[in-house]
Amino acid sequence: MDKRTILVIRSVEILLCNSSVKVCFGWEADIAAGTKRVDGSGMEAQFTIDPQTGNLGVGDVRLRPLQSKLEVEPQVAQLVKGSRDHGNGFEWLYLTGLIFGGQPASVGLCFHLGRLEQASWSVQLPDAPMDGGWPTREAIDREVAFVRDALARDGLNAKLDWGEVWSSFDPKGFMASNGLRYRTS
């Protein structure tokens, strides 16, 4: 018997937004609808950072600093939206359907030479002002303030024994830059 991959789509929803149509599959539709579910079960996958160790929490999964991509990828496969290999030793896994500080979030995991060295994330705040589908400076400033407050509540300041965390306005990309970098030496 030959092996086949079967894709089961739980639901398809069509969202009408500003005269455009967006088709969402499964949990993407749940996030877009504001229910913050990762799947139909109503469960949420929290994205957390342990201030003592730098371990990342992705739902029930714990990722360690410098953990290998080969170990990480199967553990987060359900949440992977995409990946990118830059061909220079840097590879990214993009995760969606997460919650950070109680708000919908997306996370990028950066691997250098096959080891987890960085993470970046963005948070979708309710009623964030947009201009033509892009966040305004006010929306960006609100995201930076929200992430800084969440990090401070969790005891995460800029410099830690295992690395550093940040949340700031990136003027070149005109976006919020939220991230962490592990010490490699």
pLDDT of 41 reads: 42
Judge contact between 76 and 93, C-beta under 8 A: yes
Residues in contact with 143: Cβ distance below 8 Å, sequence separation at least 6, in sequence order: 122, 123, 125, 128, 135, 176, 178
What are the pLDDT digits (tens) for 149-164? 999 999 998 899 999 9
Mean confidence (pLDDT) of the chain: 82
